[in-house]
Amino acid sequence: MKAIVVEKLGSPVTPNIRFRDNWPEPAAPKAGWALLRTRATALNQMDLWVGRGVPGLDLSYPRVSGCDACATVEAVGDAADTAWIGKRVIVNAALRVLERLRPEDGTAATLAPNYELIGEHHHGMLAELFLAPLSNLAVVGAETEDEEAHAAAFGLCGLTAWSMMVTKGQLRCGQPVLITGIGGGVATAALSIAKHFGCPTIVTSRKEEKLARAKALGADAGVLDTGQDWSKNVRALTAKRGVDMAVDSSGKATHLNCIRSLARGGAYVTPGCTSGPDATTDLARIFWNQLRLLGSTMGSNDEFREIAALYRARKLFSVVDRVFAAEEAALAYERLEAAEQFGKIVIRW
């Protein structure tokens, strides 16, 4: 079958990407799993990590990445409901890893789930066919190629943003929200969620054109990030009150400005740190203003079904930057690596 393959580790990643038409097809689905035929796949930062090497993981190469797709269910494992067959679905790539219980263990009520990822720990969705658990699927009504591309762009980033903002961050309707680095997949998903909750939303970017595009999607204000202390701009835009939530996937370059931008009791939520993990913070602000700092990774299948329902009802949206044919995979990776995109880069199969 056709597949987009990371042939070997390296940085930049793009020179090691190959389109192949002789990749082995997956085995028949086991009980509780489905075989899916890919309609469209969206790229993520995770795909670059797989190409560069994931700290702590000993991955073999060549391998197939990809953790976001719109696909059609081709077959299901034993005892599964055959009504799944033919459905167009999106896929939660996060596979829950059950904890090993020991006799002396305390409660796991507050223990965060441990995940493996289709496309990272296991061969992924940048192929014509792939396997996934039925419990990780959600039906979408994508009938046209454009709808398939947008559905593929929605899943993982929409889930990540929902889990950190709503489940963990406890976002409430009308609360002012700050989103840094608008243009990335999680940032645009966060904008969609903030607007769904009627939240006044401020976005930042290093590029004026990205601020303009965000405003066209519903952002109320934009702050150009030139390396200055832009928390003063955020304070000015909120009559000095600050925002109730700062959504930040950049990390080192933006963390302190986010902390300075938060209102009392506000939440700093982060799913990543693309500019570095070793951020400078302000502990005095954190304890005095009773701020919450929350890390978040992906999300549960229940959360995935929540966002899928809102997406089907057109309450949440995804943003597609550009669509490439599978044979143009190297060009798609080149654009992802350049970080010039606004929204998700999609591969059409």
Cis-peptide, bond into residue 200, ω within 30° of zero = no
Which of helix, strand or coil describes residue 261? helix
Sign of torsion, CA 1 40 80 134?
positive
Q: Residue 27's Cα: distance from chain center in Å?
A: 28
Domain with CATH 3.40.50.720 in the chain: 159-295
CA distance 297 to 168: 11
Compute the radius of gyration of the chain from its Cα atoms. Answer: 20
pLDDT at 141: 82
> Which of 171, 129, 146 shows the shortest CA–CA distance to 1?
129
CATH of 3-139+319-348, one of 3.40.50.1860, 3.40.50.10490, 3.90.550.10, 3.90.180.10: 3.90.180.10
Domain with CATH 3.90.180.10 in the chain: 3-139+319-348
CA distance 337 to 343: 14
How confident is the prediction along the chain (349 residues), in pLDDT tens digits per residue?
Answer: 999 999 999 999 999 999 999 999 999 999 999 999 999 999 999 999 999 998 888 999 999 999 999 999 999 999 999 999 999 999 999 999 888 888 888 888 888 888 999 999 999 999 999 999 999 999 998 789 999 999 999 999 999 999 999 999 999 999 999 999 999 999 999 999 999 999 999 999 999 999 999 999 999 999 999 999 999 999 999 999 999 999 999 999 999 999 999 999 999 999 999 899 999 999 999 999 999 999 999 999 999 999 999 999 999 999 999 999 999 999 999 999 998 899 999 999 9
pLDDT at 107: 84
CA distance 317 to 320: 10
Query: 246 CB contacts (<8 Å, ≥6 apart)?
Result: 177, 178, 179, 180, 258, 259, 261, 262, 266, 267, 268, 269
pLDDT at 133: 97
pLDDT at 261: 98
**Are 297 and 96 within 8 A, CB to CB?**
no
> Which of 193, 154, 157 shows the shortest CA–CA distance to 175?
193
pLDDT at 108: 81
Residue 221 pairs with which residues in a beta bridge? 202
pLDDT at 104: 86
CATH of 159-295, one of 3.40.50.720, 3.30.565.10, 3.50.70.10, 3.30.70.2190: 3.40.50.720
**Are 64 and 4 within 8 A, CB to CB?**
yes
Q: Residue 124's Cα: distance from chain center in Å?
A: 15
